[in-house]
Amino acid sequence: MNVLITGATDGLGRALAHALARQGVRLLLHGRDPRRLRETADEIRAAVAGVQVSTHRADFASLGDVHALAVEVRDREPRLDVLVNNAGVGAVIPGAEGRPVSDDGIELRFAVNYLAHYHLTRTLLPLLARSRPSRVVNISSVAQAAFEIDFSDLQLHRGFDAGRAYCQSKLAQVMFTIDLAAELTGRGVTVDALHPATFMPTKMVTHPRSGLDEGVQAVLQLINSPLEGPGGRYFEHGAARDPNPQALEPASRDRLRAESRRLVRRVLGQAVSSG
């Protein structure tokens, strides 16, 4: 089994990589920092004899980096059984004042937590479809329930609030999950989202409440569960839950899809297929 984990050099992603290595999985690890990527890969190789690990660097604040990563994996890998969309930034970003934006001028949390994974996943769809049955796991958050997306101010230019920006980016992940699952019905690719655990000890969390193992086990449960249908589900604590009601509105998902496509094409050009 080949598994690509984004944000694999810290926190949940790193712990998940170790757990999957012990299951004999071939790992494709993404990270932003080349040194941390090497350290993570070396650490896993030292811990699990014979494990196969490849590393892929990309800054998810740059859609150009994301696109290069997606094309590299799509064109070089024979198959991709599981894509774990885990990389992200939290409500609190040390050193980031005001309304931070990505390299492409997009509100940072929306860009990294959602839009980067939207484009990565869509670009990898041909490989995922060839590898069927396969699955996409989107690491979301219970915070997705806190706010609806305001499409009149998607980039939060008016009265920016970091907490709201984070919550909206996680809701966008869930909306994308439902939307993509419906699109992929009958194609052998299952797409689900989950809240792995509350305030795990990662660099995004200042006051942890849960251990990393709780989050890892929640993700493993989903990865290892039977591939039944297209998915489109949102899980909390191992059980399917109703997401923010806005995620269930086809019109809202249509608006998010259209805006996501517009932003990707604005940055990367009309020739890029973004779904």
Q: What share of the chain is helix, strand, coil (3-state, %, to 5)?
A: 45, 15, 40
Q: Are strands 134-139 and 189-195 parallel, antiparallel or unpaired?
A: parallel
The torsion angles phi and psi of 264, rounded to 5 degrees, stand at -60, -45
Distance CA 77, CA 179 (A): 26
- Report how far apart, in Å, the C-alpha atoms of 272 and of each of 14, 67, 120, 262 are: 31, 9, 12, 11
- Is residue 234 part of the annotated active site? The answer reads no
Residue indicated by tokens 């929640």: 218
Bridge-based pairing state of the strands 189-195 and 231-236 = parallel
- On whether the CB atoms of residues 134 and 80 are closer than 8 A, the answer is yes
If DSSP codes are grouped into helix, strand and coil, which group holds residue 65? helix
Residue 260 amino acid letter: S
User: Which residue among the candidates 114, 118, 166, 234 is catalytic per the annotation?
Assistant: 166
Please choose, from the candidates 179, 158, 192, 189, the residue with its C-alpha nearest in 3D space to the C-alpha of residue 250.
179
Positions marked active-site:
166
